[in-house]
Amino acid sequence: MQNEFAAELKNGADRVQCFEMDQIIRTSSCACGRVQCQAIGAPILSAVCSCDDCQVGGRQIEALPNATRVRDADGGSPYLTFRDDRFSCIKGADLVVGYKITDRAPTQRFVASCCNSGMFLKFRPGHWVSAYRARFDGDLPPIEMRTQTKYRHAYTAIPRDAPSYRKFPMKLFMKLIGSRFAMLIGR
């Protein structure tokens, strides 16, 4: 179930290269190493989402043969969210397959078909990509927030490593609006 976004990722490596060389470059890899994605600069957000769709989508990926976990122990999906113009597939883009939880869903989760590793999700018509945090190596920014906690199914206390919100907080939307504005003015 590939879509046009997978094709955009194949061409995105050239677009990402135009940013300043002092930017942080993060690489995510599938479990077997045949698929790699690259993110340039600081993420828009480092968060854990516990919405129904992220839980269902996470279970869908984890049910694939030999798939690695994409959800944390609490059932949420930890992400690093980047602007579209700062994220690309630099290796194995032809192995990336998209899955939707329903045909009409605006969100598509992309998996490395070689080893069924969940790599990232794309919300259409958004200007961002949310990459599964577990796919990245190295020093990562701390979790900034936990969203949609009202949908948690865990019987444990919500981790206190970051603020938790029962819904999507205004702070999240302000970060997305700010990143869109930065894209529009070329920053």
Encode pLDDT of 33-74 as tens digits: 999 999 999 999 999 999 899 999 999 999 999 999 999 988
Q: How confident is the model at residue 156 (pLDDT cuts 50, 70, 90)?
A: confident
Residues 6+ apart with CB under 8 A from 25: 38, 39, 40
CATH H-level superfamily of 43-82+95-184: glutathione-dependent formaldehyde- activating enzyme (gfa) (3.90.1590.10)
Q: Which of 178, 137, 131, 179 is nearest to 9 (CA)?
A: 131
Q: How confident is the model at residue 8 (pLDDT cuts 50, 70, 90)?
A: low
Q: Output the pLDDT for position 13.
A: 47
pLDDT exceeds 60 at position 6: no
Average pLDDT taken over every residue of the chain: 88
* H-state helical runs in 24-135: 52-62
Q: How confident is the model at residue 103 (pLDDT cuts 50, 70, 90)?
A: very high
